[in-house]
């Protein structure tokens, strides 16, 4: 716990068998709850999770990265978490920053904290492909312009959230695909949640998950669309479900498309 707040780490997993142990071994002892959600992997991710003593849930089919996050947050809230940190189990981001990120939320400095690969200039040194770096910088500049805030990047998968943010954002209106990440930050900006950043070193290697060029292009267009929707909604020119305060929200209760442990 930090400042009397229960800390949960959620691990949205897909074929993370080879890197899961390295990720979990670096999690700090102050973490109260560790939850893995397996999006119907084809490897032995669930076996590794069981060996490591993790609380694990598995989808009955591959729903996508966004839906995986929804399940992660639902289960963390159900377990009583006050602060939830998403750590990718592919060991691309160092889990050693969990304490710093969780503290910034637990002490009410920010509602959301991002582990930025751009702050400190370590993205390229860590092996980020140059085309991804250029796309990251272009999309970030575009989003800063439309969202009216100034972040170093919007595309990191290393994030900490307060319980209030997770329960008040209409996250069930978001995509099941990778653009979920971007929609979530646009929602945070639209509804006035405080967003902070910390510098995070990154590693790109063979086992680290990374979407291919085609999926990256699709994600990029999704980012542009989200930014445009934000602008249209803010100026009252259109209305979108993802920016509707009464939209569908995550509740700490079980869904019917996943179960604890391995499905029969």
Break the chain into its structural domains and give their ranges. Answer: 7-243
The pTM is what? 0.93
CB-CB contact of 32 with 84 (8 Å)? no
Tens of each residue's pLDDT in the chain, 264 residues: 999 999 999 999 999 999 999 999 999 999 999 999 999 999 999 999 999 999 999 999 999 999 999 999 999 999 999 999 999 999 999 999 999 999 999 999 999 999 999 988 777 877 888 988 999 999 999 999 999 999 999 999 999 999 999 999 999 999 999 999 999 999 999 999 999 999 998 877 666 556 677 888 999 999 999 999 999 999 999 999 999 999 999 987 767 777 666 542
Alpha helix positions (H), the chain: 20-25, 45-51, 65-78, 98-106, 130-147, 163-168, 180-190, 213-234
For the structural domain made of 7-243, what CATH number should be given? Answer: 3.90.550.10
CA distances to 2, 31, 35, 167 from 81, rounded to whole Å, are: 11, 10, 11, 11
């Amino acid at each position: 716990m930090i400042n009397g707040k229960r800390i949960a780490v959620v691990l949205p997993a897909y074929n993370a068998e080879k890197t899961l142990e390295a990720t979990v071994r670096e999690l700090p002892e102050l973490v109260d709850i560790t939850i893995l959600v397996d999006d119907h992997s084809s490897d032995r991710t669930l076996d590794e999770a069981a060996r490591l003593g993790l609380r694990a849930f598995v989808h009955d089919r591959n729903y996508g990265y966004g839906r995986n996050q929804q399940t992660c947050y639902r289960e963390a809230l159900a377990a009583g978490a006050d602060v939830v940190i998403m750590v990718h189990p592919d060991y691309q981001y160092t889990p050693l920053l969990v304490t710093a990120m969780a503290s910034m939320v637990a002490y009410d400095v920010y509602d959301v904290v991002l582990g930025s690969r751009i702050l400190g200039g370590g993205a390229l040194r860590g092996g980020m492909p140059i085309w991804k770096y250029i796309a990251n910088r272009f999309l970030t500049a575009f989003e800063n312009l439309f969202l009216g805030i100034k972040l170093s990047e919007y595309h990191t998968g290393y994030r900490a959230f307060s319980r209030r943010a997770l329960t008040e954002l209409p996250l069930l209106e978001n995509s099941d695909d990778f653009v979920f990440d971007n929609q979530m930050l646009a929602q945070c900006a639209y509804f006035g949640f405080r967003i902070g950043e910390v510098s995070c070193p990154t590693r790109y290697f063979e086992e680290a998950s990374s979407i291919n060029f085609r999926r990256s292009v699709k994600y990029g267009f999704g980012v542009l669309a989200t930014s445009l929707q934000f602008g249209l909604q803010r100026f009252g020119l259109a209305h979108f479900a993802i920016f509707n305060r009464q939209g569908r929200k995550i509740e700490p209760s079980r869904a019917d498309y996943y179960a604890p442990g391995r499905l029969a």
